[in-house]
Each structure stands twice: as structure tokens, then as C-alpha cells.
Structure 1
């Protein structure tokens, strides 16, 4: 077996390469609107299409228990190749809104074989120190998600299609790295058959329910915040003509800094306790939701940007902690399926949030709409507090 020290870096790099597909459409949204004559609301719809595809994909993967029955690395490779193909389809000049939504849907569908499967692979290798490992892994997801914004800036003098070509190429590289360098892990227990009832079985565990519901509250806020960061920046800049923002670069920094937060939270959890740290992070991000209208109305540019950076940190810091707790409270032979199911429901919730904000923006340009993102953290905190007596510490 290959030396275990290279396994985590390979998984992290592969995850970064493949998850760059997630917001590839968001990185070039202005070009898509211009070239395909789309409405301004296209951002919310295209983002939701990826999320919806991911939901259906995770549902199919969970029902068929694909990540537990087949080699996770091979599942990762096939998913990466197909996701990259559909992502590349966006460059076709004959696209319409319907075809773009379809292409983004199938990109999301096959991301279901990348993100949760990557966590499953890590769990197969790192029974101890899983929280720290998933900190790196979710950090890679965050930076991969933010990367298209930076890529757009880097390729500013080139056609927008280069962003799609580059992200698809990265996904192919990521899939190949995983299948070549990461064999089945020592703690993997292969599932023997499809489990149609798995969707319900995993929630019979009380601790599993608690951390899963905490994760669901986190997901109500997370992707909506990420999706609307460019919109928030543009709106502030339009209201303050003296302010000149480089929106792609700032979007990358605000979202991408969450990657560092994941790494740090995963390491710190070994001392503080994963559930406690997740609770604190969720509380802070909920407070950001509640006070966001006041900060967004501030005349102080440094306060506005500093607040967004802070929000970008706390909005994601709990993600690897909650994912670790989900994995730790699932049976070994159902671990991949459990992670996939929780991802499926979490991303379903994120669609509702994204669409709610998208619809509200057609009626008002008030920043008060972002207060509604606090619904998720509040409910998530109640779920985590409900099992506060259970001592779950990341080893």
C-alpha cells in the first residue's frame, strides 16, 4: 500500500480540482447573461440547478449505496469525468436558459460522486484524526468553489469560455489523481447490496439526528451567502460610487478564506470538542445574518469588507466538524451512504434558501432580506443544544 502520508494531500488536491466545477457558472455569470440574453435572476436559477442536480445525484447514490458497494476512488473518477463533460457543454454557442440549466443540473448530479465520496475515502483512511482530515478536505471544497471567481480575473484578457475549459480540465486531473494514487482505505467495509431503506435507517441514531439537523441549519445559510457575495459587493459599490471593487478577486477571498477556517477548526476541535466548536461557529454566523443589514448600510468600506471576510470564515468553519460527527455516528458499512444522505438533504435546503432570496430580490433591493438566512443557524443551534449532554469529541 502506498505511504499513508501522501493520501490526504492527494485527496485534498483531487477534491479542490473537482469542486472547482461547482461555481464555474457563477464565475462567468455576467458573460452568460450577455451572450445568451438571460435575465438578471439567472444567477439564482443556475446555482439552484447545480444544487438540485447534486440533490438528485446524492439521492440516487444513497439509494443504490454506490459509495459503499463499489471502489470509492473509481466512483470518484467516473463522476469527475462526467461532471467535467457537462460543465464543458456550457461553452456551446447554441445554449439557451433551458440547456444551461440542464447542463448545470447534470454537473451537480455527478458532483454527488465527488464531494461526499471524497469524505468517505478520507473516513476509510483516518479513523482517528478524522476531524482534522475533513478540515483539510472541506477546506479544499471551499477554495475549489471560490476558484472560478479568481480564474475569471486571471483570464480577463481571454474569452470567458477559458474558465469552463480550465475547470473541466482540473476535474479530469483530480479524478485521475484519486484513482491512481488512492486505493481502498484500510477501514473500508464494503456494503453488500442496495439498501432502499437506508435513507430512514441512518436517522434512527439519536446523536446522528442531532448533528445532521445542525448541518441542515448550516446549509440553509452557506450556499446562499456564497452565491450572493458578488451581488452584495456590486450593490455596495453602486451605492458608493467612490468605491471601486474588484468583485471577482474579493469574491474569491471572501469565500476562499473559509478554506483556512476549515483547516483551523478541524485542528482546534481535537482540543475544544467538535460539537462545541460547531455550536460557536453556527452562533457567530447566525449573528452575522441578523446584523448584516446594518453593516451593509455602513459608510465605512473597511467595516463592510471586514465583516464579509469574518462572515466568510464563520459560515463554513462548522462544516468539517458536523460532517465528522455525522461520519462518527454512522455504522462503518453505511458511512458513505450516511454522508451522501445528509448531503442530499442539506443541499435540498440550500435550494429553498437561494430561491427565496432570488424571489425577494425581484420585489425589493433592501438588505433586510439577508436576515432570513438566520433561520438556518437558529434551528441548527436548537438541534445541537438538544443533545448537549452527549459528549462528542473529535479524536
Structure 2
């Protein structure tokens, strides 16, 4: 190398095999997402027990289901711009601590009003975990396998939900509803400590901000051990560097149309997804499934989602992601429409798995789509605001489900209703313009001394 070299960090990531450090970042991000999957699912499993214990109609718990999602929406909208200022890692760790503390407080809820408030506050932590885990993972991935790796990382969400369903099916009937919240408190607090020491900050974020040169060097040496990096080198990333207020940048030239369409697609799919995850257990119990079997059936939804996430992510790195998304949304419509028409236990489990494959799998693809839509300088904001606005759908979904249950709709009518919105999502995706970020940001001059610039 010369005395002072320009180092393209994007090229370093692209030309090397995925290193152990990048795998570690993916695994730890997946762990954080798994804990958010656990917490998002837990209310659906305790709702039948709490309804009986407190003598409240099950439909009334739509407020508790939606309040947590409303808190998640607020948390996502706030955490994204903060993460684009201070880093993805810090926001993820803080969010896990918040999640653990307020999950513990939930066990003191003695009535529906207290539960609604506590779930709302807990949601703030949830909102900071998933979008920033997606952003951090994406920023460590070579373009050639980015969609696959982000999708594999997101498998943590359905895995966390499956763990919650398996624990709940045994613990709620024997140890009471508070037991699953004790577990949901302990795990995030332990994970926060682990991530604090082991999770690397996004190298693209550090370079874009021009900070912590020593950390940049250490990370690059783990990605490319033979690289001769040194103080005085100028590091940069080959993508557009948007300046100023990060939320405003979501509507900068070339991003506005995609932002609006992305928000709409998130809203539609999360409305359907949270309708399913919020009420699946209750709906199946109401049509004759014992509580334990209804919870296990819900695990099939997340199991199908895990398989769908991996397979669809793999395909999207090799085929056109927009075309795959359109086909996946149309198959969502078909699978949901057929769900309410089956009448045997075995077929219910099969259709639950298939619905999970397409509904949760399509969510994985649009998560990845959000991560590749925006450059590093505004990526956490872009992903977080897509999640945040999408959570309007998460709030609407359980409310609509609660209304249909209160009006004694049949399972066939409920799932035919759920099948319609995914057609709109398919149409919206066809109008999106998906392009890589080619513009090269300006090189950042690093200090000769390791310091925060």
C-alpha cells in the first residue's frame, strides 16, 4: 500500500468469503430477533387463560394485543433515526434491556387496563430490535448473498415464536400465565449482556460516520486477515451518502415512491400476519381444539414461516426479488382462502404450515427489500419506519379479528376476509423500482490517532 491509501470497504466485503465475524453478527442479530418473536407471540397464548381467569370475553383482549403493537410502532419510529446517529448495536442492546425489564413488570397486571398499559410500554423495546438487527446484518453481507443471509437471520423470529408456543403449551396450564413472562424477561436481559460484548457494530456505519478508526481496522482485519490496513488510510463505502434529517431522506430523489409503496406493503402483510399470530390459538380453540393442541398448531404457522424465510431468501439472491414477492403474495391469497375450508385436524396443521410459509416468508422478503432500498446513512431509519408504519396494520389486524370473533364469524369467513389484502400487496410490489445503490460516497479522512472523530 502507499503512504495513504483509499480503501473501498464495500469492495473488501464483496471480494472475500463470509468471515466468522460476519456469521457472528448474523447469529447474534438472529438471537435478538428470536426474543422479539417470543414476546410478540406470547399474548396470543395467554389470552384464553386470562379471559377465563378475569371473566372477560376473549374479544376484549384485542386491546392488549394491539397496545403492544402500537408501542412497537412508536419504538420503531423513534429507534431508527437514533440508530442512524449512534449505531445499530447500541440501540439493539438498549431495546433488549427495555424488553426484559417491562416483560417482568407485566406479571403484576391484575386487570385488562393494566395489561394494556404494560404491553404498550414493553412494545417500545420490541420496536428497536428487529429493524436494527436487519440493518446491521445487511451491512455486513456481500451483495451476492445478502438476501439469503438476512432471511436466515430473520428465521430467528419464527423460531422465537415456536419456542414460546412450546413452552406455553406446557407452562401455562401447569405454572400459570405469568411463567412465560418470567422467561420472556430473563432471556432478553441475558442476551443484552452477551451482545454488549460480542456483537460488532456495523462496519459500514462506522465508515460512513468516520468514527472509531481502531474498530474499523479490527473489523476489516477479521474480514480480510491479509489486508495491510493502517492509520492514515481513507475508508469509504460505495453507496450514496444522504445528509441531514434521516426521515426526510426517505423521500429524497429516487426514494419517495419506493418508500410509500414499501410502507403500504408492510402495512398489508403485517395486518394479515398479526391477525394470524394474535388470534390463531383462540380461533382454533373455539372450533374444538384443546388449548395445548391449538398452541402447537400455531407453532406450525411459525414453522412454515421459518422454512419459507430460508427458501424464499435463497431464491431472491438468484432470481428477481420483485417477481418472487408478487408470486408469494398471490399464493398467500390462495392458502388463506383455502384454510377455512378444511375440516380435519391433520389438514388444519398442513394448511397452517403452508399459510406460515407464504405469509411469514413474504414478510422476510419485504424486510430484505427494505434493507436494500436505502443506503447506510439512512438504512436504520428506512427499515424502522417501514416497520413502524406497517405496525398500523398490526394494530388493525387483531382489532378486526376480535370484532369477527365477537360477531361469531365462522373460520371460513374469517380467513376469506384475511385473503383479500394480500392481492393489494402484490399489486403494490409491481410498481416498486428496485435498484442497487451505486453512487459512491465521499471518502472519509481518518485521524492518525485512534479517536472518535
TM-score range, shorter chain: 0.7 to 0.9
Give a deviation string over 1:267-295, Cα, whole Å, max 9, x none.
12122222222222111111223333323
Tell me, yes or no, if the aligned pair for 1:274 and 1:392 is still in contact at 8 Å. no
Correspondent of 1:213 among 246, 257, 264: 264
Shift, 1:205, TM fit: 3.7
* 1:355 matched residue in structure 2: 399
Alpha-carbon distance in structure 1 between the residues aligned to 2:366 and 2:127: 18
TM-score (norm 1): 0.88
Q: 1:280 is matched with which residue?
A: 327
The aligned counterpart of 2:97 is 81
Other structure's SS at 1:272 match: coil
Q: Deviations over 1:99-122 (max 9, x none)?
A: 100111111121111111111111
The 1-side partners of 2:349 and 2:333 are apart by 18
Deviation at 1:199, TM superposition (A): 6.0
Query: Larger Cα Rg: Structure 1 or Structure 2?
Result: 2
The 1:153–1:294 alpha-carbon spacing in structure 2 relative to 1, beyond 3 Å, is closer
Q: Secondary structure at the match of 2:408?
A: coil
- Alignment gaps of 5+ in structure 1: none
1:91 matched to 2:136? The reply is no
2:130 corresponds to 1:115: yes
Shift of 1:2: 7.3
Structure 2 vs 1, CA of residues 302 and 72 (structure 1 numbering), >3 Å: closer, same or farther? same
User: Could you state the TM-score of these two structures normalised by the residue count of structure 2?
Assistant: 0.77
Q: Are the aligned partners of 2:44 and 2:281 in contact in 1 as well (CA < 8 Å)?
A: no
Residue equivalent to 2:386: 342
Determine helix, strand or coil for the equivalent of 1:50. Answer: helix
Q: 2: distance between equivalents of 1:14 and 1:59? A: 18
- Matching of residues 139-158 of structure 1 within 5 Å: 139-155=155-171, 156-158=173-175
Paired residue for 2:57?
39
Q: Is the 8 A contact 1:325 1:392 kept in 2?
A: no
| Structure 2 spans left out of the alignment, 5+ residues | 1-18, 210-241, 437-453
CA distance in 1, matches of 2:321, 2:280: 28
Match of 2:140 in 1: 125
Q: Equivalent residue for 1:249?
A: 296
8 Å contact from structure 2 (residues 159, 302) kept in 1: yes
**Cα 1:9–1:60 shift into 2, 3 Å:** closer
2-side partners of 1:83 and 1:384: how far apart? Answer: 33
Is 1:159 paired with 2:159? Answer: no
Is 1:376 matched with 2:421?
Answer: yes
Instruction: Check conservation: 1:124, 1:184, Cα contact below 8 A.
Output: no
Q: What is aligned with 1:100? A: 115
Check 1:19–1:305 CA distance in 2 against 1; reply closer, same or farther (3 A cut): closer
Contact 1:116 1:336 in 2 (8 A): yes
Distance 1:244 1:214, change over 3 A: closer
Question: Hey, what's the Cα distance between the residues in 1 that align with 2:282 and 2:203?
Answer: 45
Structure 2 residue matching 1:355: 3-state secondary structure: helix
Q: Deviations over 1:312-332 (max 9, x none)?
A: 111111222212222212122
* Partners of 1:216 and 1:346 within 8 A in 2: yes
- The answer to whether 1:17 aligns with 2:32 is no
Structure 1 residues 255 and 42, CA gap change in structure 2 (3 angstroms): farther
Once superposed, what is the RMSD of the aligned Cα atoms? 2.6
Query: 1:245, 1:364 → 2: CA distance?
Result: 22
Is structure 2 residue 192 aligned with structure 1 residue 175?
A: yes
Aligned to 1:186: 203
Partner Cα separation in structure 2 for residue 126 and residue 202 of structure 1: 26
Matches of 2:315 and 2:147 in 1, distance apart?
9
Aligned to 2:46: 28
Relative to structure 1, the CA distance from residue 3 to residue 59 in structure 2 (aligned partners, 3 Å threshold; closer, same or farther) is closer
Matched, 1:323 2:367: yes
Instruction: Give the conservation status (yes or no) of the 8 Å contact 1:357–1:370.
Output: no
Measure, in 2, the Cα distance between the counterparts of 1:310 and 1:317: 10
How far apart, in 2, do the equivalents of 1:331 and 1:3 lie? 22
